[in-house]
Amino acid sequence: MRHNLRELSKLATGLVLADALCALWLSVSGLLPINFFGVPFTHSVILPAVIFDSVLALLLAHYGWGIALPVRTIRERTMLRAVGTLLAVVAIAHWTRIAFGVDLIIGSWMVPIWLSWTAVIATTYLSLVSFHFSFTRHS
């Protein structure tokens, strides 16, 4: 299972970087504003999207290539717990948004609710996996 998660993380890193490159390409090619699945993308959305994609790609790349499993050092355990906590906070924020119907607007872009559902699934799973690996002891 650990090997599969690493490979999935490597694949996700590539997809996230491709998303960032596509966002930059759309910005410089003059194709914006554009609608994608009913969601309008404008120039004001590009910078936050690229920043988010960059941070996510770094986390995924670190997990896919950098961290040795099972985790043996206190530093790695602390890092996994910090990442797990951060992802749990993001998951709770999205759950709160869904539960109370809060509108989220980034620049002039209104984030669709389906994106929060996707984020809840991804961040909850990644948070649980981070905590699982941080508390698993090596025999």
pTM of the entire structure?
A: 0.58
Q: Domain count of the chain?
A: 2
Instruction: Indicate the residue among 49, 66, 83 that finishes a domain.
Output: 66
The stretches in the chain having pLDDT less than 70 are: 1-3, 67, 69, 107, 138-139
**DSSP output for 62-122:** IIIII--SS--SHHHHHHHHHHHHHHHHHHHHHHHHHHHT---EETTEEPPHHHHHHHHHH
pLDDT of residue 9: 81
Provide the token pair at 77.
Answer: 């355990």
pLDDT of residue 53: 87
Same domain as 24, residue 84? no
Instruction: Indicate the residue among 13, 35, 66 that finishes a domain.
Output: 66
Same domain as 57, residue 13? yes
What is the domain extent for residue 122? 71-139
Go through 19-56 and write b for each residue having 16 or more CB atoms within 10 A of its CB, e for each that does not: bbeebeebbeeeebeeeeeeeebeeebbeebbeebeeb
Amino acid at 70: P
* Residue 88 CB neighbours (<10 A): 17
Same domain as 51, residue 1? yes
Same domain as 91, residue 59? no
Same domain as 104, residue 83? yes
Amino acid at 105: I
CB distance 90 to 123 below 8 Å: yes
Task: List pLDDT tens digits, range 49-81.
Answer: 888 888 888 888 877 777 676 777 888 888 889
Give how far the C-alpha of residue 16 lies from the chain's centroid of Cα atoms, to the nearest Å: 8
